[in-house]
Amino acid sequence: MSDAARATVMEELAESDATGHIAEIYEEVRHYCGVPYVSSMQRYLATMPGCLEWVWAALRPAMVNGAVQEAAWACVNSLSLTPLAPVSRPALRLFGVDGEAETAIRAACDTFVRVSPINMIFGGCLRYVLENGDLTGDAGAAPGALMGDEGAAPGAWTPPKPVSNLPAFVDPATLDDSQAAVLSEFRRALGDGSFIPGPYRMFAQWPAYLAHVAIELGPVLAGPGYAADRDALFAAIDASAPKVAAGLPPAPTDLPAPSRQEAALMLAAVASYRQTSSEMVIAGTLLRNALP
């Protein structure tokens, strides 16, 4: 396997390693995002002692009442994307994608299109809180109350059910050199390291389909049209996140606030994940819409 496929990634606290309050927060992240996993951004924040706890306490009210999620999905719906060439069902079968796999690929696209813009608004709210901190609103839930506790208003927003039948992530170490080389075309810089976004690692179960994605999507992501679409998404997120954040109650005072160094690391992570999340929104939408 190539060295590129072994490149470093940002540190994260795996869901299987989470205990105590972090595990409770992870469960809420999955619930309110409507996905069966915790995103990399929250897993990274969990590696800094006390930081995820403080961030979740500060932003949780806007997740409980759906303000973050609804703003995120409105931003996606505002995009006007040039579609990829459609893939016929017979072509999918030649790519090794049977009916069950087709459903799984669609589920992967749906999931990342759902959660990635949430992470962008979440990150934008975090940036607002760290840079401004002048929160006087009322997002409708007590900052410290976890699921099962009192805190959510009657008739509270209900998140969508998680998409089922998600494909498993493929370990790049299990691929042959050609497959690993194609997968590494999707490696993205993140902080001081790099990673391969989740959908591409899922699609690696079907090497011929992954190669098709690389051929069709690669030039799009490198072209000016993608840059314009990404900037339009950034503009929508940047207009929405401060409005959501301004409605939050004051940041928690019963938990230690992040240090300046930790705040700087969090802001850098928000900036990094913003880039990859925007790709997940656009690429996921294009690939999903190209399916039969």
Res 163: pLDDT: 84
Nearest of 171, 183, 170 to residue 211 by alpha carbon: 183
Give pTM, 2 decimals: 0.88
Nearest of 64, 44, 106, 1 to residue 265 by alpha carbon: 44
pLDDT at 84 over 90: yes
Ranges of H-type helices in 132-156: none
**Average of per-residue pLDDT across 143-155:** 44
pLDDT at 83 over 90: yes
194 or 88, greater pLDDT: 88
Angstrom CA distances, 231 to 118, 210, 235, 268, stand at 17, 26, 6, 19
In the 8-state DSSP scheme, what is residue 145? P
Q: State the average pLDDT for the chain.
A: 89
Structure confidence at residue 147 as a pLDDT band (50, 70, 90): very low
**Average of per-residue pLDDT across 29-52:** 94
User: Which amino acid does the sequence have at 190?
Assistant: L
The string of DSSP letters for 22-88 reads: HHHHHHHHHHHHTSSS--HHHHHHTTSTTHHHHHHHHHHHHHHTSHHHHHHHHHHHT--PPPPPP--
pLDDT at 136 over 80: no
Res 191: pLDDT: 67
Res 59: pLDDT: 97
Which string of b and e fits 52-74 if b means at least 16 CB within 10 Å?
bbbbbbbbbbbbbbbbbbbbbbe
Residue 286 belongs to what H/E stretch? helix 260-290
pLDDT at 161 over 80: yes
pLDDT digits (tens, 9 = 90+) for 196-242: 998 999 999 999 999 999 999 999 999 999 999 999 999 999 999 99
- Residues 6 or more apart from 258 whose CB is under 8 A from it? 48, 50, 51, 54, 55, 130, 266
**Any idea which of 53-67, 69-83, 126-140, 262-276 has the lowest mean pLDDT?**
126-140
Residue 193 belongs to what H/E stretch? strand 193-195
Structure confidence at residue 144 as a pLDDT band (50, 70, 90): very low
pLDDT at 72 over 50: yes
What is the Cα–Cα distance from 213 to 54, expressed in whole angstroms?
39
Q: How many CA atoms, within 13 angstroms, populate the side-chain half-sphere of residue 273?
A: 27
**Average of per-residue pLDDT across 54-62:** 96
> Among residues of the chain, what percentage have pLDDT more than 70?
88
What is the Cα–Cα distance from 173 to 233, expressed in whole angstroms?
34
162 or 68, greater pLDDT: 68
* Domain boundaries, given as residue ranges, for the chain: 3-290
